[in-house]
Amino acid sequence: MTVFELRGGCVALGGREILHDVSVSVDSGEFVAILGANGSGKTTLVRTLVGLVPLSAGTLEVFGTPLARFRDWPRLGYVPQRLSVGGGVPATVREVVASGRTGRAHRLRRLGRADHAAIDHALEDVGLSHRGSDAVATLSGGQQQRVLIARALAGEPEVLVLDEPTAGVDADSQDTLAGALGHLAGQGGSVVLVAHELGPLADLIGRAVVMSGGRVASDGPPPEPEGHHAHVGHIHTHAHETHDRGHPSVLEPRTFDR
């Protein structure tokens, strides 16, 4: 079954085309990494896949349904790139994770047993069960990133889309993260993630889509770790040099929550 089917996708933001004729398809059970330099369109691509950025041309189907008619949102989990969790009011780790369940919950009913079980599992998966009642702001950056992932997992999605989940995350959290994603993949779930450095995720990745200048530069098995030069950092460096020099104005739009 196909999770995402993007054909000839073009995206323009602020009058500038960011993605040019991108075709990517993700099957159920796949673990796909989107790689590429800063400004290559990775983030825009995943934001397009989850319906946050409209296509200016091309078509997108999600679970076989054109995006405009897609209603089965709980099947999708999304972990945006955020510097920290939460807004202006304190919230506990459990409250934030539970909010990921809202799409599946009934408006007029309290959360049921299945909801609480899913929230418990999500907290367990990211190793934060013992921090449930702590204010999320008291957690480290890596732990907050894990909270964001738990929030998505609490909705029990079939596919998880993550934007740079490992950016600025300590080694312990990266390992926990890899464990949680491995667990999801082991249960038949699909994962699409944007990454700059793969770290402990490298072993999980079955396919790498490398973006460059808003186009798919390559799509296939992940680069074999063959000494220093085969690392993702290598791709990153070269893409920067060859591409960014030609298009100095291409910068990826990002939304950060303060």
58 within 8 A of 10, measured Cβ to Cβ = yes
Which one among 172, 203, 241, 257 touches another protein, defined by CB under 8 A? 257
Q: Which tokens belong to 183? A: 């667990």
Please give the size of the binding site for another protein, defined by CB under 8 A: 39
Contact 206, 222 (CB under 8 A): yes
d(CA 43, CA 172): 25
Of the residues 113, 133, 226, 227, which one makes contact with another protein according to CB under 8 A: 133
- Of 35 and 152, the one with the shorter C-beta distance to another protein is 152
Bridge partners (DSSP) of residue 258 are: none
Among 7, 20, 38, 51, binds another protein (CB under 8 A): 51
- How many beta carbons lie within 10 A of that of residue 117, not counting itself? 11
Binding status of residue 255 toward another protein by CB under 8 A: yes
Residues 53-112 that bind another protein (CB under 8 A): 71-74, 76-78, 80, 82, 85-92, 95-96, 99-100, 102-103, 105, 107-108
Nearer to another protein, 82 or 234 (CB): 82
Q: Is 130 in the site for another protein (CB under 8 A)?
A: no
Please, what sign has the CA dihedral across residues 70, 73, 78, 84? Answer: positive
Among 21, 61, 120, 134, binds another protein (CB under 8 A): 134
Residue 79 · residue 149 · CB < 8 Å: yes
* Closest approach of another protein to the CB of residue 111, in Å: 8
Q: Which of 228, 231, 225 has the alpha carbon at shortest distance from 195?
A: 231
Q: Are 219 and 32 in contact (CB under 8 A)?
A: no
- The DSSP output letter for 135 is B
The answer to whether 151 contacts another protein (rule: CB under 8 A) is: yes
CB of 129 to another protein, least distance (A): 16
Query: Cα 181 vs. chain centroid, distance in angstroms?
Result: 11
258 is a site residue for another protein (CB under 8 A): yes
Min separation Cβ 165 and another protein, Å: 14
- Say what the alpha-carbon torsion angle 58, 64, 66, 72 is, to the nearest 10 degrees: -140
The least distance separating another protein from the CB of residue 101, rounded to whole angstroms, comes to 9
Positions in the binding site for another protein (CB under 8 A): 50-52, 71-74, 76-78, 80, 82, 85-92, 95-96, 99-100, 102-103, 105, 107-108, 133-135, 138, 151-152, 155, 255, 257-258
